[in-house]
């Protein structure tokens, strides 16, 4: 199974938690924020997700 960045965008994977509820350890994976919601960096998420799929 392969997943594209477009599929992740369409699924809303890039929407994170509210900006007031976050763990500083996640800072390198957060692209930015919009309307008080963190936007997850899919360029970093996609390769890690593909690695996780290999184990499932």
Between CA 12 and CA 39 the distance in angstroms is 10
What's the token pair of residue 23? Answer: 């763990």
Domains held by the chain: number:
1
Q: CA torsion sign, 43 to 21 to 53 to 2?
A: negative
Between CA 56 and CA 41 the distance in angstroms is 23
| pTM for this entry | 0.81
6-50 per-position pLDDT tens digit: 999 999 999 998 999 999 999 999 999 999 999 999 999 999 999
> Beta-carbon neighbour count of residue 38 at 10 Å?
21
Domain of 38 in residue numbering reads as 5-55
């Amino acid at each position: 199974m392969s997943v594209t960045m477009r599929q992740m965008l369409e699924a809303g994977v890039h929407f994170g938690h509210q900006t007031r509820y976050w763990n500083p350890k996640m800072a390198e994976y957060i692209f930015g924020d919009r309307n008080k919601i963190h936007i997850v960096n899919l360029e970093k998420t996609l390769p890690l997700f593909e690695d996780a799929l290999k184990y499932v």
